[in-house]
């Protein structure tokens, strides 16, 4: 596991600025980890993750930022918060992942699964344009982008007939404010 590790790691040459950042920004102290594995045990998607929550905390200790930003788990975490809820030390793993997702976006490291990255992009773009997420619009754009037009089409029709889909979604009243928010935020983080 871990594509970066094909030689023995020299621990005393490792620093973990990430550990420091998490402590300073969010008060998350990974040294309190008891290594019990309760987080991994309860993780909703743990069986699919390449690195389970306990390993993610250990990677933070090892300062393996690149591995963390490139791992599959980063973008398929459901944010169900179970790991945080169960941790005897209260280590906020979902917050760690949030932070890493932001960092990965800044460094333009793509998600392992291209469809996920695409979905997030479209969603964010929609909010920027209209101030809210229109499910239908998002769906249509997503299908168009991925080329999977007919997938889930059957369900879509049923939902529409039941009045649960509104293809025409109005923008938020003050959509200009939303856009300005986006622009200033992206200027600050240069996304």
User: Is the Cβ of residue 32 or residue 174 nearer to other proteins in the bound state?
Assistant: 32
Q: Which is nearer to other proteins, 58 or 130 (CB)?
A: 58
As measured in angstroms, the least distance from the Cβ of 96 to other proteins is 16
> What Rg do the C-alpha atoms of the chain give, in angstroms?
20
Q: Give CA–CA dist 29/31, Å, rounded.
A: 5
Min. distance of Cβ 95 from other proteins in angstroms? 19
Nearest distance from residue 93's CB to other proteins, in Å? 15
**Phi, psi dihedrals of residue 8, rounded to the nearest 5°:** -70, 135
**Residue 6 C-beta: closest distance to other proteins, Å:** 7
Query: Minimum CB separation from other proteins for residue 55, in Å?
Result: 6
Q: Tell me whether residue 2 or residue 156 sits nearer to other proteins (CB atom).
A: 2
Which tokens is 38 given?
A: 């309760």
Burial class (CB in 10 A: 0-12, 13-18, 19+), 98: middle
Binding site for other proteins (CB under 8 A): 1-2, 5-12, 29, 31-32, 35, 54-55, 58-59, 62
Nearer to other proteins, 24 or 35 (CB): 35
Q: Tokens 């990430």 appear where?
A: 18
Q: Which two tokens stand for residue 150?
A: 């007919």
CB nearer to other proteins: pick between 37 and 114: 37
Cβ(136)–Cβ(142) under 8 Å? no
Which one-letter DSSP state was computed for residue 162? T
Tell me 122's DSSP state: H
């Amino acid at each position: 596991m871990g594509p970066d590790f094909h030689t023995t790691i020299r621990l005393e040459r490792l620093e973990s600025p990430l550990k420091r950042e998490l402590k300073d920004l969010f008060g998350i102290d990974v040294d309190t980890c008891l290594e019990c594995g309760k987080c991994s045990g309860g993780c909703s998607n743990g069986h699919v993750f390449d690195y389970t929550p306990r390993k993610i905390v250990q990677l933070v200790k090892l300062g393996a930022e690149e591995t963390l930003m490139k791992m599959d788990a980063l973008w398929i975490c459901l944010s169900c918060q179970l790991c945080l809820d169960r941790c005897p030390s209260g280590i906020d793993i979902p917050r760690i992942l949030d932070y890493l997702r932001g960092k990965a976006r800044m460094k333009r490291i793509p998600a392992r699964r291209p469809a996920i990255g695409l979905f997030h992009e479209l969603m964010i773009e929609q909010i920027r344009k209209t101030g809210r997420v229109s499910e239908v619009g998002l769906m249509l754009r997503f299908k168009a982008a991925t080329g999977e037009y007919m997938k889930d089409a059957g369900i879509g029709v049923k939902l529409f007939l039941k009045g649960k889909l509104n293809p025409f979604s109005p923008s938020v009243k003050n959509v200009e404010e939303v856009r300005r928010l986006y622009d200033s935020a992206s200027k600050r983080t240069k996304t």
